A and B are shown apart, each in its own frame.
Chain A
Amino acid sequence: MKIFGIKIPMMASLIFWAILWEIVGQLELSILLPPFSHIIIRLVEIVPTKMFMDAFLVTAQCFLAGIAIAITLGIPIGVLMGRSIVIDRMLLPWVNMFLSAPLTALVPVLMTLFGFGMKTIILTTVLFAIWIIVLDARAGVKNITPSLIDMAKSFQASYWQAFTKVYVWAALPEILAGMRLGCIRAVKGVIIGQLLVSVVGFGRLFELYSSNFLMEHMWALLFVLFFFAFILAEGLGLLERKFEYYAAERH
């Protein structure tokens, strides 16, 4: 973008919004909207505290465990669905249902089954992330050029060889897209899980800050979470683009 012949970098609009926020905040219109600078100061203050780091570690553990489970289960299920009509017919309605279902409503059920600990949060993360990973892996496998499948067959690839040496790689652009979307959903899952469980991790912090009307803390925490979610999605997007050259090659 160019204004008066000066090139404006992509993120420059954020500075504009930050200044606007600062002005509105300084006017003290609402307790909900403290000045931007105060939030930044609070952010620098709370991030190094032990309470924050503990919450961050718990969240990171739940997120990583959840996304790892979602990926290791989701990709093989998706590939199987893409290759077998029977399995596809059996599972597709469920996958589609869970993809669009309001999963938040399931968390209380998980809580009664698995308690108020990390198990419930990890499961919530898996539930949020897995369906899009399954669907994208399935779409990727369905998109494989038929001749590539014939090629594997004609050189007598075993099912395992075809899976690990051809199908997964041929579907990689879609699988990576699914993993990226899965990660974004997993962030939602891990936070919603914690908010509802509300005795561990960031959930506990949110509970603490909101019940004490600590809006600066609250916003600082939100900034940190938004920032990490954004970095995660961008990083995966970057990885995805590295493989895009052959997504176009296949057809």
Chain B
Amino acid sequence: MSTTAEAVSTATSPIAVEVEQVSKIYPGGVEALHDMTIQFPKGQLTSLLGPSGCGKTTLLKIIAGLLPLTTGRVTVNGVEVTGPGEERAFVFQDFALMPWASVLRNAAFGLELRGVPKSERNAIAEKYIEAVGLKGYENLYPHELSGGMRQRVGLARALAVDADVLLMDEPFSAVDEQTRRKFQEDLLDVIKEEGKTFIFVTHSIEEAVYVSHSIALLLPRPSRVSEIIRPDIDRSISPDAIRRDPVYLDIVERIWQGLRSYVE
């Protein structure tokens, strides 16, 4: 078996994001996370995979600084998280684009909020709009784009602020299947080129195995990291070959066996 289940911390890369004994209790007493510890290596894509209710989105939002944690500590590049920060950017499940703004302004919005002059921020945004494959669409509005294209704008906006860590909350779940596959393939290119740390929440096993360097398998009640899987897939082969690769299929099957008892 070419898969190894090991703690990510033993991997060779330095750590970008460290989650230490984090618990989150929502007002009303619901415990979304219980004493969770996990590390995310620099320059890699780590997926948080698990059935609904395992707290994966809660964890991502805590790392983003959008939700306060109850106990524990999150550090990004060694600095404790107290709120949103320049070194992190978020990609939203429902895209969170501004319908009244063009593709260009949406993609440049993070820079606009930071007070980057217009010509400069537009030049940066144009570069990333091209990188996500939307060149020529700069002056269209979100309602004129398909779901997949909208999420590309969301990705361009997150890349444009040049954060070290990209937090992606089920970015492809609102996108149709064909578009999703193409998007996943393009994401692999972006990861290779940008060299950023990606934390990727998904509920699709295939998606997690396809795009991730490592997968943190989260299980609910109590919410915990049950296993860390590092899919050892040769990504130099074509996307279609990967999807037919026995190693890929084995990992998908293995994760499914681990999760099936939690479905229903």
Residue numbers of A with Cβ under 8 A of B are 145, 147-148, 150-157, 161, 165-166, 169-170, 172, 245-246, 249-250
Contact = CB atoms under 8 A, between A and B. Distances in A.
- Among the interface residues B61, B96, B99, B112, which one has the most CB atoms of the partner chain A within 10 A? B99
A154 B64 contact: yes
B225 interface: no
Given A145-B94, A147-B94, A156 B99 contact: no
Q: Is the interface of B mostly helix, strand, loop or mixed?
A: loop
A187 B160 CA distance: 49
Given A147-B92, A155-B84, A165 B113 contact: yes
Main secondary structure of the interface of A (DSSP, over half): helix
B113 A161 contact: yes
Which A-B residue pairs are the 7 nearest by beta carbons? A246-B99, A151-B96, A147-B96, A154-B90, A155-B110, A249-B99, A147-B92
Nearest to B86: A156
Contacts of A154: 64-66, 84, 88-90
Which of A154, A157, A161, A169 has the largest count of B CB atoms less than 10 A from its CB? Answer: A154
A245 B100 CA distance: 10
B98 interface: yes
A145 B98 contact: no
A169 B61 CA distance: 25
A151 B90 contact: yes
B245 to A, nearest CB: 35
Given A147-B95, A165-B113, A245-B99, 17 more contacts: A147-B93, A147-B94, A150-B92, A151-B96, A153-B66, A154-B64, A154-B65, A154-B84, A154-B88, A154-B89, A154-B90, A155-B84, A155-B109, A246-B100, A249-B99, A249-B142, A249-B143
Contacts of B95: 147
Interface in B80-110: 84-86, 88-90, 92-96, 98-100, 109-110
B99 A155 contact: no
B113 A157 contact: yes
A151 B94 CA distance: 11
Contacts of B112: 165
A157 B86 CA distance: 11
B113 A156 contact: yes
Contacts, number: 58
B143 A156 contact: no
A40 B95 CA distance: 57
Contact of B96 (A145, A156, A249): A145
B96 A148 contact: yes
Interface residues of B, number: 26
Contacts of B113: 152, 155-157, 161, 165
Contacts of B93: 147
A151 B114 CA distance: 14
Contacts of A165: 109, 112-113
B89 to A, nearest CB: 7
B94 to A, nearest CB: 5
B74 to A, nearest CB: 15
Contacts of B155: none
Interface-centre pick from B89, B100, B142 (highest chain A CB count, 10 A): B100
A156 B84 contact: yes
B161 interface: yes
A169 B98 contact: yes
Interface in B143-197: 143, 161
A244 to B, nearest CB: 11
Given A155-B110, A156-B85, A156-B114, A169 B100 contact: yes
A154 B158 CA distance: 10
A181 B95 CA distance: 32
A250 B14 CA distance: 40
21 contacts: A145-B94, A147-B94, A150-B92, A150-B96, A151-B90, A151-B92, A151-B96, A154-B64, A154-B65, A154-B84, A154-B89, A155-B113, A156-B85, A156-B86, A165-B112, A165-B113, A166-B98, A169-B98, A169-B100, A246-B99, A249-B99
Nearest to A155: B110
Nearest to A149: B96
Contacts of A166: 98
Contacts of A153: 66, 84
A170 B99 CA distance: 8
Contacts of B143: 245-246, 249
Nearest to B141: A246
A144 B124 CA distance: 28
A1 to B, nearest CB: 33
Interface in B105-143: 109-110, 112-114, 142-143
